[in-house]
Chain A
Amino acid sequence: MKDHAWFPIAYMFLITAIPTALLIGLAHYTQPRVDANAQIAFEKAVIMATLPATDPTLRGLALHKLFVERINTQTNAAAGAYRLMDGDAVKAYAIPFAGKGFWDAIKGVIAVAPDRTTVVGFYVYEQSETPGLGAEISQPWFRAQFQNKTLAAGDLPITFRRRGEPLGPHDVETVTGGTQTSVRLERLVNQACDQWRAAMPSGATP
């Protein structure tokens, strides 16, 4: 049978078709999980930014429950921000930011108090920066800096300063060796805050 002319072609066809069918099946089967993972990653970012004291190992269903309980997802009423609720009162606004980092996309959330100036928390949930350098923006030390900083009025709500420079109430320290990542992150965060503040209806908080 091997010597017939059609055998190689039939063989190639089978050896391509069967694995492909299996792979399509596997991809299909895992797709809901992949989508759920992406959704959970975002929810985690919102929770960790608005409630910085949350246990960082919280994941899966418990995290999702917390998100559903506490976060108001009607973003249209708050200029695109998610709101941390305590009953009927707004405790924090979670402003998502996303854009191009040095290598690839950086996505995160910065949470601001109802006074629209004090920063409650900060969390990066997607980045592909260099480990040990740019990727430090996901580390606890970098995130913790943002708590209790205030957004300056005007164009530059948060300024990233090099290590060694004095840090004022609107400043955070950049990552040493991750200059390009820091520059881009600064731009993303500031753009998001600016746009949000401009779009928020002035006066009473919704």
Chain B
Amino acid sequence: MNFSTQIAQAVVICFAAMFTGNILLTTFLGMCSFLACSREVKTAVGLGAAVVFVMTCTTILNWVMYWLVLVPLHIEFYRYILFIIVIAAFVQFIEMVIERYSPPLYYTLGIFLPLITVNCAILGAALFMVIRKYTFIETIGYGFGSGVGWMLAIVSMAGIRQKMAVNRIPKGLQGPGITLIIAGLMALGFIGFTGVLQGQ
């Protein structure tokens, strides 16, 4: 594929990852932090932004590690361990950088970073990237799109839950129950995006 078709493909993949193939609403990855941190829009935006950043960077790093290290050595099965190490190391590194160079940013964003290490969505994005055999440029689109999609989902959820904070909800449904129903309705809504862009 030449360069311009790759860029076009990357845009389509990015769009698909944001909406029709939303990593949270269609493949259910990243649910734990989603359910726990979606009460307020402010926290959600902070966590979402951190996820976008980490997801984009780590999928790219993992692409490099997979295709340039694991495949030539025929140890593809090792990717599970290697990807986790890359993600943990990257998050640790970023946390140190932010803490050193921007304490205010660290105060708003940095506290989410440890949460992200265990976020299955980050590992999941890397694994999907391997399975679907994306090229480097497509991976950039995919990583960014997945991150933004996850952020969209959690921010929308926070907004809805803030509005619903005063409603009366049955006891068994309070908390995660109602959140999941809202998530289901959002997933239903996102399906409406299918076919908007040709090729996804």
Contacts and interface: CB of A to CB of B under 8 A. Distances in A.
Contacts of A104: 131-132
A156 B195 CA distance: 22
Contacts of A20: 78
A179 interface: yes
Contacts of B132: 103-104
Interface residues on A, range: under 10
A180 B194 contact: yes
Main secondary structure of the interface of A (DSSP, over half): helix
B77 A23 contact: yes
Main secondary structure of the interface of B (DSSP, over half): loop
Interface string A92-119: 0000000000011000000000000000
B191 to A, nearest CB: 10
B75 interface: yes
Q: 10 tightest A-B contacts by CB?
A: A27-B77, A104-B132, A23-B77, A24-B75, A104-B131, A180-B194, A179-B195, A20-B78, A23-B78, A103-B132
Given A23-B77, A104-B132, A180-B200, 11 more contacts: A20-B78, A24-B75, A27-B75, A27-B77, A103-B132, A104-B131, A128-B131, A179-B194, A179-B195, A180-B194, A180-B195
Interface of A: 20, 23-24, 27, 103-104, 128, 179-180
15 contacts: A20-B78, A23-B77, A23-B78, A24-B75, A27-B75, A27-B77, A103-B132, A104-B131, A104-B132, A128-B131, A179-B194, A179-B195, A180-B194, A180-B195, A180-B200
